[in-house]
């Protein structure tokens, strides 16, 4: 007999005095659909978080695909797929880009990603709408896309957390059919959270029942049904009134499926007694999927370590941030940079004339703090926005590293803002040269120009690092942006007061380059400090619980 794909011993997770999961000992065989059945709040979602290594157990052990959830959580996430409580889709990106992102995360070659996108979306009848923003889709379409994402990288094991929750009966039945078809083609093991016994009976070979964190029983769905009652009818349709329902309950021949269909657009049928859980082996016989797991991640996906693979993760996050945050088709993403460039690159140089960039310390602070205000919108959305849109949990459940997520957000915000400032300064330099008679390429005050570029780079890195820290501790985007704005204003006022408090003789003894070097040194130390604190604060378990 093969080793179970999931094995837990006395697995427990407590939140204070609340025992979310209490002494869970469980074995899930490979190659089946296992249903984890229980009411809302029973501990099902916490169990998935424990099995994925997103939370550490209070006590006990869990081994998933022979990996320990405490010490090898990254390996578990690298070899599994997940559809958690929310679909976790980036709605400002297209369906195609959502799948492509997770193909990049799992290091799939570009040609494989394109082929896989077409295969899955065609099977789900979504191919023709692949270029549309996900925000325009119905909930059912989004959920189908989320299932495709969980299966995208050919994982041998997927976790599904209440995939049909909140759906009407017809939509739930349709999604179950799509799920059964897809999973049957892939030949994977499925750990399915559900509170619906009917759904468990249709899809699962084994069911474990959990209540208040305790595992009550494990067995075949039919055996569990025998314990809970006799045959039941499934009514699929809409528009039933109480009189119709009462009539159906009184007619056992309808429940047995022998009566003629007396009501149009309604069906009543008996629960099937065919063994569930293998998810329609006939689908495989018709040529779909690979039952030998040739796409198993253990052979296809590189390990998470190694410099080249870490760089791939980093560039994946840069790609994702550019698609999701910067170039998402909203007019604000274009007008704000243009306004910034116009003010700093044209208006400000004209006002200050040839003294632009060779300005007094008080005016220098204005140039330094301008990028802070520009970066507030971007970085305030970095973590708090993903949490608010329910995409962060899904990203954390993937194989990408914490460091890649954090640095990708910080560096993208820094480079984008610095790029706007660079264009502004270059435009301002040209403006100054033209007004001073030096010509476009005269490059009057080039040393000030280069010094300002370095200064702004350090400043934007400081803003991004601090912004991530604030975003980590903010429940909403609005709260993060308000806190960032107050912080920038407070820092600016404090800096101006510090300058005014300094003796005039001290400032007069320093030339521009000396002042610049002092400010750069201070900013460099602050950058290193904030980046270190941000990396220490960015932890999966803390983010899942927040």
> What's the pLDDT tens digit per position in 68-113?
999 999 999 999 999 998 999 999 899 999 999 999 999 999 999 9
Long-range (24+ apart) CB contacts under 8 A made by 385-391 are 385/471, 385/477, 385/480, 387/475, 387/543, 387/546, 388/475, 388/476, 388/477, 389/90, 389/91, 390/85, 390/86, 390/87, 390/88, 391/88, 391/89, 391/90
| Mean predicted lDDT score pLDDT of the chain | 78
What's the CA gap between 256 and 243, in Å, rounded?
A: 20
Residues 6+ positions from 88 with CB-CB distance below 8 Å: 146, 390, 391, 393, 394, 395
Coil, helix or strand for 99? helix
What's the CA gap between 176 and 9, in Å, rounded?
A: 31
H or E stretch covering 119: helix 110-123
pLDDT tens digits in sequence order for the chain, 546 residues long? 568 999 999 999 999 899 999 999 999 999 889 999 998 889 999 999 999 999 999 999 999 999 999 999 999 999 999 999 899 999 989 999 999 999 999 999 999 999 999 999 998 899 999 999 999 999 889 999 999 999 999 999 999 999 888 787 888 888 888 888 887 777 889 999 998 888 888 888 899 999 999 999 998 877 776 665 555 555 556 566 666 666 555 554 444 443 333 333 333 433 443 344 443 333 333 333 333 333 333 333 444 455 677 788 889 999 998 888 766 555 556 676 777 777 777 776 776 665 656 555 555 556 666 667 667 777 777 788 888 888 999 999 999 988 899 888 888 888 888 888 788 777 877 777 777 666 555 555 677 777 778 888 888 888 888 888 888 888 888 888 888 888 777 777 777 777 677 666 665 566 666 777 887 888 889 889 988 888 888 888 888 876
Q: What is the DSSP letter of 153?
A: T
β-sheet with 214-219: strand ranges across? 80-83, 157-161, 189-194, 33-37, 206-211, 214-219
Q: What is the residue-wise DSSP string for 423-485?
A: HHHHHHHHHHHHHHTS-TT--TTHHHHHHHHHHHHHHHHHHHHHHHHHHHT-SSHHHHHHHHH
- Angstrom CA distances, 322 to 63, 277, 396, 526, stand at 37, 41, 19, 26
Task: Tell me how far the alpha carbon of residue 70 is from its chain's centroid.
Answer: 22
Question: Interior CA angle at 104 toward 98 and 109, to 5°?
Answer: 120
Stated pTM of the model: 0.78
Please check whether residue 242 is in contact with residue 254, taking contact to mean a CB–CB distance below 8 angstroms: no
Let me know how long the chain is.
546
Q: How far apart are the first and last CA of the chain?
A: 41
**Residue 369 burial (CB count, 10 A):** 17
What's the CA gap between 295 and 119, in Å, rounded?
A: 14
What's the CA gap between 24 and 22, in Å, rounded?
A: 6
The pair of structure tokens assigned to 274 is 């065919």
Q: What is the residue-wise DSSP string for 354-379?
A: GGTTS--HHHHHHHHHHHHHHHHHHH
Q: Which domains does the chain have, with CATH numbers?
A: 6-87+156-232+274-285 (3.40.50.300), 238-270 (no CATH), 307-545 (no CATH)
Place of tokens 């900013």: 523
The pair of structure tokens assigned to 458 is 């350090």
* Closest to 477 measured CA to CA, from 370, 372, 371, 387: 387
What's the CA gap between 179 and 372, in Å, rounded?
A: 47
* Closest to 428 measured CA to CA, from 416, 411, 403, 445: 445
Q: What does the pLDDT read at residue 287?
A: 35
Please check whether residue 461 is in contact with residue 410, taking contact to mean a CB–CB distance below 8 angstroms: yes
Exposed, middle or buried by CB within 10 Å (0-12, 13-18, 19+), for 53?
Answer: buried
* Closest to 470 measured CA to CA, from 536, 367, 376: 376
Coil, helix or strand for 81? strand
Please check whether residue 35 is in contact with residue 220, taking contact to mean a CB–CB distance below 8 angstroms: no
Residues 6+ positions from 12 with CB-CB distance below 8 Å: 19, 21, 22, 23, 24, 57, 58, 59, 60, 213
> What's the pLDDT tens digit per position in 194-245?
988 888 888 888 999 999 999 999 988 777 766 655 555 555 565 666 666 6
* Closest to 73 measured CA to CA, from 54, 92, 93: 54
Q: What does the pLDDT read at residue 526?
A: 87
Q: What is the residue-wise DSSP string for 367-410?
A: HHHHHHHHHHHHHHTTTHHHHHTT-HHHHHTSS--HHHHHHHHH
What's the CA gap between 203 and 198, in Å, rounded?
A: 9
Please check whether residue 491 is in contact with residue 369, taking contact to mean a CB–CB distance below 8 angstroms: yes
The percent of residues above 90 in pLDDT, for the chain, comes to 31
> What's the pLDDT tens digit per position in 238-262?
566 666 666 555 554 444 443 333 3
* φ/ψ of residue 236, rounded to 5: -120, 125
């Amino acid at each position: 007999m093969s080793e179970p794909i999931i094995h837990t011993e006395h697995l427990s997770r407590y939140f204070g005095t609340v025992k979310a999961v209490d002494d869970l000992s469980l074995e899930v065989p490979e190659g089946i659909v296992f249903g984890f059945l229980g009411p809302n709040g029973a501990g099902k979602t916490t169990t998935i978080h424990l099995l994925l290594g997103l939370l550490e157990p209070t006590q006990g052990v869990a081994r998933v695909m022979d990996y320990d959830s405490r010490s090898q959580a990254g390996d578990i996430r690298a070899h599994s797929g997940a559809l958690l409580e929310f679909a976790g889709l980036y709605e400002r990106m297209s369906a195609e880009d959502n799948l492509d992102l997770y193909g990049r995360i799992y290091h799939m070659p570009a040609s494989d990603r394109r082929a896989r996108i077409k295969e899955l979306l065609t099977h789900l009848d979504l191919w023709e709408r692949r270029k549309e923003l996900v925000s325009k889709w119905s909930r059912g379409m989004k959920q189908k896309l989320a299932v495709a994402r969980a299966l995208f990288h050919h994982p041998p094991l997927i976790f599904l957390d209440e995939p049909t929750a909140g759906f009407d009966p017809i939509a739930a039945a349709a999604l179950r059919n799509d799920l059964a078809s897809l999973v049957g083609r892939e030949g994977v093991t499925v750990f399915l959270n559900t509170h619906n016994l009917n759904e468990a009976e249709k899809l699962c070979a084994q069911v474990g029942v959990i209540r208040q964190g305790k595992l009550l029983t494990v067995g075949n769905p039919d055996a569990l049904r025998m314990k809970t009652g006799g045959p039941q009818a499934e009514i699929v349709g809409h528009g039933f009134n109480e009189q119709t329902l009462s009539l159906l309950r009184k007619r056992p021949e309808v429940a047995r499926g022998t009566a003629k269909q007396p009501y149009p657009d309604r069906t009543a049928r008996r629960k099937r007694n065919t063994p569930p859980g293998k998810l329609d082996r006939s689908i495989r016989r018709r040529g779909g999927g690979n039952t030998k797991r040739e796409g198993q991640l253990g052979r296809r996906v590189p390990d998470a370590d190694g410099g080249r693979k870490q760089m791939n993760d980093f560039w994946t996050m840069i790609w994702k941030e550019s698609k999701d945050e910067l170039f998402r088709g909203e007019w604000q993403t274009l007008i704000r940079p243009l306004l910034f460039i116009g003010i700093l690159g044209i208006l400000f140089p004209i006002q200050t004339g040839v003294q632009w960039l060779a300005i007094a310390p008080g005016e220098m602070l204005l140039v330094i703090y301008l990028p802070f205000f520009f970066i507030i919108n971007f970085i305030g959305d970095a973590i708090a926005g993903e949490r608010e849109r329910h995409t962060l949990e899904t990203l954390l459940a993937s194989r990408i590293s914490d460091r890649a997520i954090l640095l990708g957000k910080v560096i993208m915000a820094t480079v984008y803002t610095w790029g706007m400032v660079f264009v502004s300064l270059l435009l301002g330099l040209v403006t100054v040269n033209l007004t001073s008679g030096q010509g476009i390429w005269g490059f009057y005050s080039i040393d000030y120009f280069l010094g300002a570029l370095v200064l702004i780079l350090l400043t934007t890195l400081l803003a991004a690092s601090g912004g991530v820290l604030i975003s980590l501790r903010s429940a909403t985007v609005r709260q993060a942006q308000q806190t960032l704005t107050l912080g920038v204003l407070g820092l600016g006022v404090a800096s101006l007061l510090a300058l005014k408090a300094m003796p005039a003789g001290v400032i007069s003894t320093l030339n521009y380059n000396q002042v610049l070097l002092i400010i750069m040194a201070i900013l460099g130390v602050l950058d290193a400090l904030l980046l270190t604190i941000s990396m220490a604060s960015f932890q999966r378990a803390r983010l899942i619980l927040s």
